[in-house]
Amino acid sequence: MQLAGKVVLVTGGTDGIGLRLARALRDAGAKVTMTGRTAARIAAAQAEGFEVLPADLAGPDGVAGLLAAISGRQFDVLVNNAGMGGTHDFREGAPVADEDERTLYLNLHAPIRLIAGMIPALRDRPEAMIVNVTSGLAIAPSTSAPVYCATKAALRSYTQALRSQLKDTHIHVLEALPPVVDTAMTAARTGSKLSPEECARQIVAAMQRNATEANVGIVRILAILNNLAPWLVRRIMLSF
Protein backbone atom coordinates (compact mmCIF):
# COMPACT_ATOMS: atom_id res chain seq x y z
CA MET A 1 0.00 0.00 0.00
CA GLN A 2 1.12 3.49 -0.81
CA LEU A 3 0.64 5.20 2.56
CA ALA A 4 1.14 8.78 1.40
CA GLY A 5 -2.23 10.53 1.52
CA LYS A 6 -4.01 7.68 3.30
CA VAL A 7 -6.21 8.46 6.30
CA VAL A 8 -5.50 6.08 9.19
CA LEU A 9 -7.24 5.37 12.50
CA VAL A 10 -4.92 3.87 15.15
CA THR A 11 -6.54 2.66 18.35
CA GLY A 12 -4.48 3.00 21.52
CA GLY A 13 -2.23 5.45 19.76
CA THR A 14 -1.08 7.67 22.60
CA ASP A 15 1.54 5.31 24.03
CA GLY A 16 3.70 2.28 23.33
CA ILE A 17 3.57 0.59 19.94
CA GLY A 18 0.56 2.67 18.91
CA LEU A 19 2.31 6.01 19.33
CA ARG A 20 5.34 4.81 17.38
CA LEU A 21 3.06 3.44 14.67
CA ALA A 22 1.31 6.80 14.44
CA ARG A 23 4.64 8.60 14.07
CA ALA A 24 5.95 6.13 11.49
CA LEU A 25 2.73 6.33 9.47
CA ARG A 26 2.82 10.12 9.53
CA ASP A 27 6.46 10.03 8.41
CA ALA A 28 5.29 7.88 5.47
CA GLY A 29 2.83 10.58 4.49
CA ALA A 30 -0.37 9.32 6.08
CA LYS A 31 -2.84 11.45 8.00
CA VAL A 32 -3.27 9.80 11.41
CA THR A 33 -6.12 9.96 13.89
CA MET A 34 -5.70 8.00 17.09
CA THR A 35 -7.68 7.02 20.15
CA GLY A 36 -6.54 7.35 23.75
CA ARG A 37 -8.01 7.25 27.23
CA THR A 38 -5.46 8.95 29.52
CA ALA A 39 -5.73 12.74 29.67
CA ALA A 40 -1.99 13.41 29.98
CA ARG A 41 -1.11 11.12 27.08
CA ILE A 42 -3.90 12.57 24.96
CA ALA A 43 -2.54 16.07 25.58
CA ALA A 44 0.99 14.97 24.74
CA ALA A 45 -0.11 13.40 21.46
CA GLN A 46 -2.12 16.48 20.57
CA ALA A 47 0.98 18.56 21.24
CA GLU A 48 2.70 16.48 18.54
CA GLY A 49 -0.05 17.50 16.13
CA PHE A 50 -2.14 14.33 16.19
CA GLU A 51 -5.91 14.29 16.27
CA VAL A 52 -6.93 12.22 19.30
CA LEU A 53 -10.41 10.87 19.94
CA PRO A 54 -10.88 10.07 23.65
CA ALA A 55 -12.19 6.52 23.97
CA ASP A 56 -12.00 3.70 26.50
CA LEU A 57 -12.45 0.69 24.24
CA ALA A 58 -12.51 -1.86 27.07
CA GLY A 59 -16.32 -1.78 27.07
CA PRO A 60 -19.22 -1.49 24.62
CA ASP A 61 -19.99 2.14 25.43
CA GLY A 62 -16.50 3.24 24.41
CA VAL A 63 -16.68 1.38 21.12
CA ALA A 64 -20.14 2.73 20.35
CA GLY A 65 -18.97 6.24 21.19
CA LEU A 66 -15.98 5.98 18.88
CA LEU A 67 -18.08 4.67 15.99
CA ALA A 68 -20.48 7.56 16.52
CA ALA A 69 -17.58 10.04 16.58
CA ILE A 70 -16.22 8.86 13.22
CA SER A 71 -19.57 8.35 11.52
CA GLY A 72 -19.52 9.90 8.07
CA ARG A 73 -15.75 10.28 8.01
CA GLN A 74 -13.53 8.57 5.47
CA PHE A 75 -10.71 6.31 6.61
CA ASP A 76 -8.50 4.16 4.40
CA VAL A 77 -6.85 2.14 7.16
CA LEU A 78 -7.97 0.81 10.54
CA VAL A 79 -5.19 -0.29 12.90
CA ASN A 80 -6.57 -2.25 15.83
CA ASN A 81 -3.65 -1.74 18.19
CA ALA A 82 -5.23 -1.00 21.59
CA GLY A 83 -4.70 -3.83 24.04
CA MET A 84 -4.07 -4.73 27.63
CA GLY A 85 -3.02 -7.76 29.59
CA GLY A 86 -2.28 -8.92 33.08
CA THR A 87 -1.53 -12.14 34.89
CA HIS A 88 -4.23 -14.76 35.38
CA ASP A 89 -2.35 -17.20 37.54
CA PHE A 90 -4.08 -19.38 40.12
CA ARG A 91 -0.71 -20.14 41.67
CA GLU A 92 -0.67 -16.53 42.86
CA GLY A 93 -4.26 -16.31 44.12
CA ALA A 94 -7.59 -15.71 42.44
CA PRO A 95 -7.39 -13.67 39.20
CA VAL A 96 -9.07 -10.27 39.09
CA ALA A 97 -12.39 -10.82 37.29
CA ASP A 98 -12.88 -7.19 36.26
CA GLU A 99 -9.42 -7.02 34.69
CA ASP A 100 -10.11 -10.23 32.78
CA GLU A 101 -13.39 -8.84 31.44
CA ARG A 102 -11.74 -5.61 30.29
CA THR A 103 -8.94 -7.59 28.64
CA LEU A 104 -11.43 -9.78 26.80
CA TYR A 105 -13.38 -6.80 25.53
CA LEU A 106 -10.49 -4.54 24.60
CA ASN A 107 -8.35 -7.20 22.92
CA LEU A 108 -11.07 -9.11 21.08
CA HIS A 109 -14.57 -7.65 21.13
CA ALA A 110 -13.51 -4.08 20.36
CA PRO A 111 -11.54 -4.92 17.18
CA ILE A 112 -14.39 -7.08 15.90
CA ARG A 113 -17.01 -4.40 16.58
CA LEU A 114 -14.85 -1.65 15.06
CA ILE A 115 -14.26 -3.70 11.93
CA ALA A 116 -17.96 -4.41 11.61
CA GLY A 117 -18.76 -0.74 12.05
CA MET A 118 -16.13 0.50 9.59
CA ILE A 119 -16.39 -2.11 6.83
CA PRO A 120 -19.03 -0.16 4.85
CA ALA A 121 -16.84 2.97 4.74
CA LEU A 122 -13.68 0.97 3.96
CA ARG A 123 -15.48 -0.70 1.03
CA ASP A 124 -16.01 2.74 -0.49
CA ARG A 125 -12.27 3.50 -0.59
CA PRO A 126 -10.24 2.60 -3.70
CA GLU A 127 -7.59 0.94 -1.51
CA ALA A 128 -8.12 0.03 2.13
CA MET A 129 -6.49 -2.00 4.86
CA ILE A 130 -7.30 -3.52 8.25
CA VAL A 131 -4.33 -4.15 10.53
CA ASN A 132 -4.93 -6.30 13.61
CA VAL A 133 -2.11 -6.30 16.14
CA THR A 134 -2.03 -9.69 17.84
CA SER A 135 1.13 -11.15 19.42
CA GLY A 136 3.70 -13.88 19.13
CA LEU A 137 1.80 -15.33 22.09
CA ALA A 138 -1.09 -15.99 19.69
CA ILE A 139 1.11 -18.75 18.26
CA ALA A 140 2.37 -20.15 21.55
CA PRO A 141 0.86 -19.07 24.89
CA SER A 142 2.63 -18.17 28.09
CA THR A 143 1.52 -19.90 31.29
CA SER A 144 1.35 -16.69 33.32
CA ALA A 145 -1.11 -14.83 31.07
CA PRO A 146 -3.59 -17.29 29.57
CA VAL A 147 -6.44 -14.77 29.17
CA TYR A 148 -4.24 -12.31 27.27
CA CYS A 149 -2.87 -15.12 25.12
CA ALA A 150 -6.36 -16.45 24.44
CA THR A 151 -7.59 -13.06 23.23
CA LYS A 152 -4.66 -12.73 20.86
CA ALA A 153 -5.09 -16.27 19.54
CA ALA A 154 -8.80 -15.60 18.98
CA LEU A 155 -8.04 -12.34 17.16
CA ARG A 156 -5.49 -14.18 15.02
CA SER A 157 -8.12 -16.75 14.04
CA TYR A 158 -10.65 -14.01 13.33
CA THR A 159 -8.10 -12.14 11.20
CA GLN A 160 -7.35 -15.20 9.09
CA ALA A 161 -11.05 -15.83 8.45
CA LEU A 162 -11.66 -12.14 7.72
CA ARG A 163 -8.82 -12.14 5.20
CA SER A 164 -10.45 -15.06 3.39
CA GLN A 165 -13.83 -13.29 3.35
CA LEU A 166 -12.33 -10.10 1.92
CA LYS A 167 -9.90 -11.67 -0.54
CA ASP A 168 -11.91 -10.56 -3.57
CA THR A 169 -12.29 -6.98 -2.33
CA HIS A 170 -9.86 -4.08 -2.22
CA ILE A 171 -9.64 -4.31 1.60
CA HIS A 172 -6.32 -5.88 2.52
CA VAL A 173 -6.02 -7.62 5.90
CA LEU A 174 -2.69 -7.67 7.76
CA GLU A 175 -1.91 -9.35 11.06
CA ALA A 176 1.00 -7.90 13.05
CA LEU A 177 2.59 -10.23 15.60
CA PRO A 178 5.02 -8.39 17.89
CA PRO A 179 7.36 -10.09 20.36
CA VAL A 180 7.90 -8.68 23.85
CA VAL A 181 8.19 -4.94 23.23
CA ASP A 182 9.56 -2.38 25.66
CA THR A 183 6.32 -0.61 26.67
CA ALA A 184 4.51 0.29 29.88
CA MET A 185 2.66 -3.03 29.75
CA THR A 186 5.92 -4.99 29.92
CA ALA A 187 7.75 -2.69 32.36
CA ALA A 188 7.83 -5.35 35.08
CA ARG A 189 9.30 -7.98 32.78
CA THR A 190 13.01 -8.63 32.60
CA GLY A 191 14.95 -9.95 29.66
CA SER A 192 15.29 -8.86 26.07
CA LYS A 193 12.65 -6.51 24.66
CA LEU A 194 12.31 -5.04 21.20
CA SER A 195 12.12 -1.26 21.00
CA PRO A 196 8.66 0.06 20.09
CA GLU A 197 10.22 2.14 17.32
CA GLU A 198 11.66 -0.95 15.62
CA CYS A 199 8.39 -2.82 16.10
CA ALA A 200 6.49 0.02 14.42
CA ARG A 201 9.02 0.22 11.61
CA GLN A 202 8.57 -3.44 10.76
CA ILE A 203 4.77 -3.23 10.86
CA VAL A 204 4.70 -0.18 8.59
CA ALA A 205 7.09 -1.89 6.18
CA ALA A 206 4.72 -4.87 6.06
CA MET A 207 1.82 -2.51 5.33
CA GLN A 208 3.74 -0.94 2.47
CA ARG A 209 4.42 -4.30 0.83
CA ASN A 210 0.86 -5.59 1.41
CA ALA A 211 2.06 -8.52 3.51
CA THR A 212 -0.50 -10.78 5.14
CA GLU A 213 1.57 -11.17 8.32
CA ALA A 214 4.20 -9.04 10.01
CA ASN A 215 6.14 -11.49 12.15
CA VAL A 216 8.11 -8.89 14.07
CA GLY A 217 11.55 -9.51 15.51
CA ILE A 218 12.03 -12.91 17.11
CA VAL A 219 8.46 -13.90 16.17
CA ARG A 220 9.83 -14.69 12.69
CA ILE A 221 11.83 -17.50 14.25
CA LEU A 222 8.91 -18.54 16.44
CA ALA A 223 6.63 -18.81 13.40
CA ILE A 224 9.16 -20.96 11.53
CA LEU A 225 9.70 -23.23 14.52
CA ASN A 226 5.96 -23.52 15.06
CA ASN A 227 5.57 -24.82 11.52
CA LEU A 228 8.37 -27.34 11.95
CA ALA A 229 7.94 -28.44 15.57
CA PRO A 230 4.88 -26.93 17.30
CA TRP A 231 5.29 -29.25 20.28
CA LEU A 232 8.72 -27.74 20.99
CA VAL A 233 7.41 -24.17 20.80
CA ARG A 234 4.57 -24.96 23.20
CA ARG A 235 6.98 -26.58 25.65
CA ILE A 236 9.30 -23.58 25.59
CA MET A 237 6.59 -20.94 25.91
CA LEU A 238 4.59 -22.69 28.59
CA SER A 239 7.65 -22.55 30.83
CA PHE A 240 7.21 -18.77 31.16
Catalytic residue numbers, as ranges: 148
In three state form, how does the secondary structure of the chain look? CCCCCCEEEECCCCCHHHHHHHHHHHHCCCEEEEEECCHHHHHHHHHCCCEEEECCCCCHHHHHHHHHHHCCCCCCEEEECCCCCCCCCCECECCCHHHHHHHHHHHHHHHHHHHHHHHHHHHCCCCEEEEEECCHHHCCCCCCCHHHHHHHHHHHHHHHHHHHHCCCCCEEEEEEECCCECCHHHCCCCCCCECHHHHHHHHHHHHHCCCCEEECCCHHHHHHHHHHCHHHHHHHHCCC
**Selection from 4, 2, 6, 20 nearest residue 176 by Cα:** 20
Report how far apart, in Å, the C-alpha atoms of 125 and of each of 77, 180, 199, 217, 238 are: 10, 34, 27, 32, 43
Cβ(45)–Cβ(36) under 8 Å? yes
**Residues whose CB falls within 8 Å of the CB of residue 201, separated by 6 or more in sequence, listed in order:** 24
